């Protein structure tokens, strides 16, 4: 029950606080970026394109989470 309340609180904070949203987005994007670069043979991509892709993935994830 405590976990459910914590997730609800985080979701509420993400919906109302733009800075909190950006912090989560940045962390998620960096995880995607790090995992992409850790792949044995990642597809070659320009660094700028990869950053845009990672940020888009992070935004999509947060939108799904918060239904924003």
Return the pLDDT at 33. 92
User: The tokens of 31 are what?
Assistant: 């995880």
User: The tokens of 4 are what?
Assistant: 């459910």
HEC profile of 42-54: CCCCCHHHHHHHH
Q: Where are the alpha helices (DSSP H) in 17-44?
A: 18-38
Return the pLDDT at 39. 86
pLDDT bucket at 8, cuts 50 / 70 / 90: very high
pLDDT digits (tens, 9 = 90+) for 23-59: 999 999 999 999 998 888 877 778 888 999 999 999 9
Q: How far apart are CA 59 and CA 6, in angstroms?
A: 21
Question: DSSP character for 14?
Answer: H
**Domain locations along the chain:** 2-66
């Amino acid at each position: 029950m405590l976990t459910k309340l914590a997730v609800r609180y985080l979701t509420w904070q993400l919906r109302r606080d733009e800075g909190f949203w950006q912090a989560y987005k940045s962390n998620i994007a960096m995880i995607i970026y790090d995992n992409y670069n850790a792949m044995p043979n990642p597809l070659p991509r320009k660094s700028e394109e990869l950053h845009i892709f990672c940020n888009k993935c992070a935004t999509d994830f947060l939108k799904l989470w918060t239904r924003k």
